[in-house]
Amino acid sequence: MQVGQPVTAVGSIPQSIQGDCAWQGREIQGSSRWIVHWTPEQIAELEAAAEHFSKTGIALENITTESFPLQKLKPFIADILSTLLQGRGFVMLRGLPIKQWNIEKAACIYMGIGRHMGSLRSSNGKGHLLGHVRDQGAKVEAGARFYQTNKKLDYHTDSADIVGLLCLQKAKEGGESFIASSMALYNEIVKRRPDLIPAMFTPYPTDRRGEVPEGRDPWFEIPIFNWYQGQLSCVYLRHYIEEAQTRFPNAPRLTKEQIEVMDLIDAILQEPGFALQMAFEPGDIQLLHNHQILHSRNDFHNWPEPERARHLLRLWIAPKTGRALPDYFASRWGSVTPGDRGGIIVPGTKLSVELTV
């Protein structure tokens, strides 16, 4: 692919995306229908599955649906997955008694839930299936990723079908989550600047942040919007797109129209009422479908005690029922096969679970 060359036939793309996936924050900010509360019976089944798993002696990175058995919860999880993949694209699961569990039990239950949705994927170059979203004092300008800092995150997508965040501890101040429908975003761009449609579907070089598979460039190229087999998907990481321009002289140069696309995206996302704001409480699990949801967060300030620092656990999940993706996604996702794609793929790295930062 070369910048400036569309990877899909623009004439085949719809002028708008309809349905539950194309929502705006102002329409649902006051509603609670996107918050699902665990029942005592459901929590009891999760705890029983965790107890069963602990007796198997299996390492957490090898957790399976058989070693973490759920029977009554199967239809519930299937409904959640349907909402993510075919519905509005996000859900907040609330009410896990996280303060009553140690980190081992919390991680087991969280990963067990994720495993019943699909395979678990590495979210960093170290092969970690369970990611820690916590201020580690890292500097983005030094090549770190934003989740290792307390800085505001710009709107972006992750390199997996579904991303989950489990809140162990919230910040003293800030850290609110913001999400937006990339389908509604697409509709607004087409309405305001139809002349930019071709540039939306051309590849954008994007910095890999040092997590480079063998034989690959330190950047990958993918369009922001992708139309394939009747479905629209979005991939957006502006900071890393701009970093590729700065750090890699050999990366293709962005066109004027591509920069205008990103400027318009950022402007729309900041408009009052477009995004949905939510605050995490301990025990919350936020699940997002990356193909149709962009997410960000505010700056935050921690409590002075280290044990009270804001701490989320991240999962990247690949359901077998995930949507079809074009072959060029494999440049970042390793594969386009549902259930076996996404994550940070670094050959020779062993998958593992680190329970501490």
With a cut of 60, say whether residue 330 has pLDDT above it.
yes
Q: What is the CA radius of gyration of the chain?
A: 20
Average pLDDT over residues 148-153: 61
* Alpha helices, H only, the chain: 25-28, 40-56, 74-86, 103-115, 182-192, 197-200, 238-247, 256-269, 330-333
With a cut of 90, say whether residue 30 has pLDDT above it.
no
Classify residue 198: in a domain, yes or no.
yes
The pLDDT score that the predictor gives to residue 1 is: 44
Of 271, 242, 260, 258, which is closest to residue 180 (Cα–Cα)?
271
Classify residue 242: in a domain, yes or no.
yes
Classify residue 2: in a domain, yes or no.
no
**For residues 301 and 171, is the Cβ–Cβ distance under 8 A?**
yes
Q: Alpha-carbon distance 287 to 217, whole Å?
A: 31
Q: Residues 87-140: pLDDT tens digits?
A: 999 999 999 999 999 999 999 999 999 999 999 999 988 899 999 988 655 444
329 contact partners, CB below 8 Å, separation of at least 6: 222, 226, 336, 341
* Partners of 133 in beta bridges: 312
The pLDDT score that the predictor gives to residue 297 is: 86
**For residues 277 and 29, is the Cβ–Cβ distance under 8 A?**
yes
> What's 131's domain CATH number?
3.60.130.10
Classify residue 9: in a domain, yes or no.
no
The pLDDT score that the predictor gives to residue 195 is: 96
Classify residue 183: in a domain, yes or no.
yes
Average pLDDT over residues 62-89: 98
- Collapsing DSSP to helix, strand or coil, 191 comes out as helix
With a cut of 70, say whether residue 6 has pLDDT above it.
no
Of 317, 316, 311, which is closest to residue 282 (Cα–Cα)?
311
Q: Using 50, 70 and 90 to split pLDDT, how confident is the model at 2?
A: very low
**Dihedrals phi, psi of 251, to nearest 5 degrees:** -70, 140
Minimum mean pLDDT range among 13-27, 73-87, 142-156: 142-156
* Alpha helices, H only, 96-181: 103-115
Classify residue 352: in a domain, yes or no.
no
**Dihedrals phi, psi of 57, to nearest 5 degrees:** 75, 5
Q: Using 50, 70 and 90 to split pLDDT, how confident is the model at 220?
A: very high
Q: Residues 156-200: pLDDT tens digits?
A: 999 999 999 999 988 766 568 899 999 999 999 999 999 999 999
With a cut of 70, say whether residue 144 has pLDDT above it.
no
Report how many domains make up the chain.
1
What is the distance of C-alpha 159 from the center of its chain?
Answer: 7
Average pLDDT over residues 305-313: 78
The pLDDT score that the predictor gives to residue 172 is: 66
- Both tokens of 182, joined, read 């990339």
Burial of 116 (C-beta count, 10 Å sphere; 0-12/13-18/19+) = buried
Q: Which domain holds residue 85?
A: 23-333
Cα dist. 78→84, 129, 209, 248 in Å? 10, 22, 34, 43
Q: Residues 241-290: pLDDT tens digits?
A: 999 999 999 999 999 999 999 999 999 999 999 999 998 999 999 999 99
Q: Alpha-carbon distance 352 to 242, whole Å?
A: 31
With a cut of 80, say whether residue 20 has pLDDT above it.
yes
Q: Using 50, 70 and 90 to split pLDDT, how confident is the model at 349?
A: confident
With a cut of 60, say whether residue 334 has pLDDT above it.
yes
Provide DSSP, 238-272: HHHHHHHHHH-TTSPPPPHHHHHHHHHHHHHHTST
Classify residue 299: in a domain, yes or no.
yes
Neighbours of 57 (CB within 10 A): 7
With a cut of 60, say whether residue 150 has pLDDT above it.
no
Question: For residue 314, which amino acid is it?
Answer: R
- Both tokens of 297, joined, read 């967060």
69 contact partners, CB below 8 Å, separation of at least 6: 49, 52
The pLDDT score that the predictor gives to residue 265 is: 98
Classify residue 11: in a domain, yes or no.
no
Percent of residues, the chain, with pLDDT higher than 90: 73
Q: What is the mean pLDDT of the chain?
A: 90
With a cut of 70, say whether residue 41 has pLDDT above it.
yes
**For residues 196 and 258, is the Cβ–Cβ distance under 8 A?**
no
Q: Alpha-carbon distance 69 to 45, whole Å?
A: 9
339 contact partners, CB below 8 Å, separation of at least 6: 118, 119, 318, 319, 320, 322
Q: Say which residue the tokens 């030094």 belong to.
A: 142
Percent of residues, the chain, with pLDDT higher than 70: 89
